[in-house]
Protein backbone atom coordinates (compact mmCIF):
# COMPACT_ATOMS: atom_id res chain seq x y z
CA UNK A 1 0.00 0.00 0.00
CA UNK A 2 2.78 2.46 0.91
CA UNK A 3 4.40 1.84 -2.48
CA UNK A 4 1.14 2.70 -4.25
CA UNK A 5 0.75 5.92 -2.25
CA UNK A 6 4.37 6.80 -3.04
CA UNK A 7 3.80 6.20 -6.76
CA UNK A 8 0.59 8.22 -6.85
CA UNK A 9 1.90 11.18 -4.82
CA UNK A 10 2.36 14.26 -7.05
CA UNK A 11 5.77 15.07 -5.58
CA UNK A 12 6.42 17.98 -7.94
CA UNK A 13 3.37 19.82 -6.55
CA UNK A 14 4.19 19.52 -2.85
CA UNK A 15 6.02 22.88 -2.82
CA UNK A 16 3.00 24.62 -4.35
CA UNK A 17 1.09 26.50 -1.61
CA UNK A 18 -2.22 26.31 -3.50
CA UNK A 19 -1.85 22.53 -3.76
CA UNK A 20 -1.03 22.39 -0.04
CA UNK A 21 -4.20 24.39 0.68
CA UNK A 22 -6.28 21.93 -1.33
CA UNK A 23 -4.79 18.90 0.42
CA UNK A 24 -5.01 20.45 3.92
CA UNK A 25 -8.66 21.45 3.47
CA UNK A 26 -9.53 18.01 2.13
CA UNK A 27 -7.83 16.33 5.10
CA UNK A 28 -9.50 18.67 7.61
CA UNK A 29 -12.92 18.07 6.09
CA UNK A 30 -12.62 14.38 6.94
CA UNK A 31 -11.29 14.81 10.50
CA UNK A 32 -13.80 14.48 13.33
CA UNK A 33 -11.74 16.60 15.74
CA UNK A 34 -8.71 18.23 14.05
CA UNK A 35 -5.80 18.93 16.37
CA UNK A 36 -5.06 22.43 17.58
CA UNK A 37 -1.63 22.30 15.92
CA UNK A 38 -3.13 21.22 12.57
CA UNK A 39 -5.61 24.11 12.71
CA UNK A 40 -2.87 26.58 13.65
CA UNK A 41 -0.80 25.53 10.63
CA UNK A 42 -3.90 25.50 8.43
CA UNK A 43 -4.81 29.08 9.37
CA UNK A 44 -1.34 30.27 8.37
CA UNK A 45 -1.61 28.45 5.04
CA UNK A 46 -5.11 29.81 4.36
CA UNK A 47 -3.92 33.38 4.99
CA UNK A 48 -1.15 32.92 2.37
CA UNK A 49 -3.31 31.43 -0.38
CA UNK A 50 -6.56 32.00 -2.24
CA UNK A 51 -9.67 29.79 -2.44
CA UNK A 52 -9.56 26.64 -4.59
CA UNK A 53 -12.40 27.52 -6.97
CA UNK A 54 -11.13 25.91 -10.20
CA UNK A 55 -12.55 22.90 -11.98
CA UNK A 56 -15.96 21.34 -12.51
CA UNK A 57 -16.43 20.61 -8.82
CA UNK A 58 -14.47 23.27 -6.92
CA UNK A 59 -13.45 22.55 -3.33
CA UNK A 60 -14.34 26.04 -2.13
CA UNK A 61 -16.70 28.89 -2.84
CA UNK A 62 -15.95 32.60 -2.57
CA UNK A 63 -17.85 34.57 0.07
CA UNK A 64 -18.19 38.13 -1.22
CA UNK A 65 -20.83 39.54 1.14
CA UNK A 66 -21.53 39.26 4.88
CA UNK A 67 -22.68 35.80 5.91
CA UNK A 68 -24.42 34.57 9.06
CA UNK A 69 -22.88 31.38 10.42
CA UNK A 70 -23.68 29.08 13.33
CA UNK A 71 -21.71 26.74 15.53
CA UNK A 72 -23.08 23.84 17.51
CA UNK A 73 -20.83 22.85 20.41
CA UNK A 74 -20.78 20.08 22.99
CA UNK A 75 -18.31 19.53 25.82
CA UNK A 76 -15.84 17.79 23.44
CA UNK A 77 -15.78 20.79 21.08
CA UNK A 78 -13.11 23.47 20.97
CA UNK A 79 -14.97 26.56 22.17
CA UNK A 80 -15.32 28.99 19.26
CA UNK A 81 -13.26 26.74 17.00
CA UNK A 82 -12.64 27.22 13.28
CA UNK A 83 -15.61 25.24 11.94
CA UNK A 84 -18.91 27.06 11.47
CA UNK A 85 -21.90 26.42 9.21
CA UNK A 86 -24.27 28.64 7.29
CA UNK A 87 -27.09 26.23 8.25
CA UNK A 88 -28.83 26.53 11.62
CA UNK A 89 -30.11 22.96 11.20
CA UNK A 90 -26.56 21.62 10.82
CA UNK A 91 -25.47 23.58 13.92
CA UNK A 92 -28.36 22.03 15.89
CA UNK A 93 -27.19 18.59 14.76
CA UNK A 94 -23.67 19.26 16.06
CA UNK A 95 -25.01 20.63 19.36
CA UNK A 96 -26.94 17.41 19.97
CA UNK A 97 -24.31 14.86 18.92
CA UNK A 98 -23.58 11.84 21.09
CA UNK A 99 -26.81 12.38 23.02
CA UNK A 100 -25.58 15.73 24.40
CA UNK A 101 -27.42 19.03 24.69
CA UNK A 102 -24.86 21.61 23.70
CA UNK A 103 -24.93 25.27 22.76
CA UNK A 104 -25.48 27.00 19.44
CA UNK A 105 -23.75 30.28 18.60
CA UNK A 106 -24.47 32.73 15.79
CA UNK A 107 -22.19 35.35 14.30
CA UNK A 108 -22.24 37.54 11.21
CA UNK A 109 -18.94 37.45 9.32
CA UNK A 110 -17.59 40.05 6.93
CA UNK A 111 -16.11 38.40 3.80
CA UNK A 112 -12.55 39.13 4.94
CA UNK A 113 -13.16 37.08 8.11
CA UNK A 114 -13.82 33.90 6.09
CA UNK A 115 -10.67 31.79 5.81
CA UNK A 116 -12.37 29.12 3.67
CA UNK A 117 -15.87 28.02 2.72
CA UNK A 118 -16.41 24.51 1.37
CA UNK A 119 -18.63 24.34 -1.69
CA UNK A 120 -19.05 20.60 -1.90
CA UNK A 121 -19.94 19.35 1.55
CA UNK A 122 -23.35 18.80 3.07
CA UNK A 123 -22.38 20.71 6.20
CA UNK A 124 -22.14 24.16 4.55
CA UNK A 125 -18.86 24.53 6.46
CA UNK A 126 -17.16 27.90 6.81
CA UNK A 127 -13.76 28.25 8.50
CA UNK A 128 -13.20 31.46 10.45
CA UNK A 129 -11.53 32.78 13.58
CA UNK A 130 -14.39 34.48 15.42
CA UNK A 131 -12.96 35.10 18.88
CA UNK A 132 -13.05 38.87 18.28
CA UNK A 133 -16.46 38.94 16.58
CA UNK A 134 -19.60 39.42 18.68
CA UNK A 135 -21.27 36.01 19.09
CA UNK A 136 -24.87 35.46 20.08
CA UNK A 137 -26.05 32.27 21.75
CA UNK A 138 -29.17 30.98 19.98
pLDDT, the chain, mean: 84
Mean pLDDT throughout 87-96? 93
Mean pLDDT throughout 111-133? 87
How much is the pLDDT for 132? 67
Asked if the model's pLDDT at residue 133 lies above 70, the reply is no
Range of the domain at 40: 2-137
How much is the pLDDT for 135? 67
Asked if the model's pLDDT at residue 56 lies above 60, the reply is yes
* Cα end-to-end distance, the chain, whole Å: 47
Q: How many domains does the chain have?
A: 1
Asked if the model's pLDDT at residue 3 lies above 80, the reply is no
Mean pLDDT throughout 71-100? 86
How much is the pLDDT for 93? 93
Whether the Cβ atoms of residue 43 and residue 128 lie closer than 8 Å to each other = no
Amino acid sequence: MAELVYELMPWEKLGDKQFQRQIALTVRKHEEYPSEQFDKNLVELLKQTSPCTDGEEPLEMVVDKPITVYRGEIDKSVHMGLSWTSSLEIAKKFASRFGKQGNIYRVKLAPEMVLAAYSDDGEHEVLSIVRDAPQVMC
